[in-house]
Structure 1
Amino acid sequence: MPVAICSLKYESAHSGAQKITYDSDGYHLVRFPYQAGEESYDPWKMHDPAAGGGTSKYPDARSGLIWPSHDGWATLSALVFWAADSRPTEYRARFVRDPLNLSTHYDSTATTDISPTGGGQYRSYTWQMFVHPGTPVGLKVAARSGDNGFAVPITLAEFKLAIQTDVIRP
């Protein structure tokens, strides 16, 4: 079964600190550099600065998007390392179709809410869903306590999309 893959990696040691800003939904869209890195892989150009007919430069919001190259059944996975911080009482993550309302409409799925552990917070996430070329997907995260969102630094993030391209729908 053919698979189209996009694998992105952000690492603060190589890309500098990522400024955490919360959108109106209370989440931060994680940004990823465009240059190929140690583990980045994008031969189908799903994370391209010109994808979706726009222009982008890391770390603007569009640098957080993967534009699926094919219709198909996809596995989305993510890894997020948060710096140690005693303020948040929960860490959240979600995958979002069209997180910037550029094509279809904002549609979040697989929201996860986890209590902190001692030290840094290290989380991985997985979800499966249908994807389409005209609808970008993104990874959004939040560190919060009640209604307060905290700008806790992310030290590492990975976002991966694997599309099975020959799925038959009845």
Structure 2
Amino acid sequence: MATHVCSLKFDAAKDGGPLSVTPGEDYHLVPFPYAAAESYDADDMHAETWDGTAHPFPADPASALIRPAHESWGRLYAMIQWEVASGDEATELRDQFARDPLGTLDTTCTEHRRASPGMQCFAKAWAIFVSPDVPLGLRVAHNASGSLNVVLAEFKLEYDA
């Protein structure tokens, strides 16, 4: 039995600027860069051309997906850092894991948090069954009066198979 890991990281300072998230009830997938910009993906679970078509970061929503290589009991991890904004502060910051976010959406581990003083940094972990047929994504939302920026995000899948 081997441990399989896909560890993705979005860093606004290195990846073309922040992810601007419009306010409202709609959640937004967090895209992640490919190849050398990835933290670790030995099993190619975050491939730009998984279906023979290019899915460029950050324009294509498919750049947000991890596609598990095996069926297994998996552990998801995420870290999200929102930019501190003046004038457009949110009273609630939201995040969730999503199964098949571009198809038949099924969400899990949804959290709504009150904004805290200072930097808005959140980490989470959740365990679920994973399958190669069901891609996974990390989604965020907020209720500020204007757009807020995600400046750093990590999304990880770990499982044994």
Does the aligned pair in 2 maintain the 1:96–1:137 contact within 8 Å? yes
Does structure 1 residue 109 correspond to structure 2 residue 108?
yes
Q: Superposition pairs for residues 1-170 of structure 1, below 5 Å?
A: 1-21=1-21, 26-37=26-37, 40-52=39-51, 54-59=53-58, 60-85=60-85, 86-101=88-103, 105-145=104-144, 150-165=146-161
Name the aligned partner's letter for residue 11 of structure 1.
D
SS at 1:77's partner residue? strand
Deviation at residue 21 of structure 1 after TM alignment: 4.6
Q: Secondary structure at the match of 1:36?
A: helix
For structure 1, list consecutive stretches of 5 or more residues without a partner in the other structure: 166-170
Residues 111-158 of structure 1: per-residue CA shift (max 9 Å, x gap):
01110111220000110000000110000011215xx6x421111100
Q: Find the residue that maps to 1:63 and give its secondary structure.
A: helix
- Gap change, CA 1:28 and 1:8, over 3 Å in 2: same
Q: Tell me the amino acid that sits aligned with residue 97 of structure 2.
A: F
Change (3 A) 1:25 1:113: closer
Counterpart residue type for residue 80 of structure 2: V
Task: Tell me, in whole angstroms, the C-alpha distance in 2 between the residues paired with 1:5 and 1:113.
Answer: 27
Structure 1 runs (4+) deviating above 3 angstroms are: none
Q: List alignment gaps of at least 5 residues for structure 2.
A: none
- Partner SS state of residue 62, structure 1: helix
Cα separation, 1, equivalents of 2:69 and 2:147: 33
Aligned-residue Cα RMSD (Å) equals 2.0
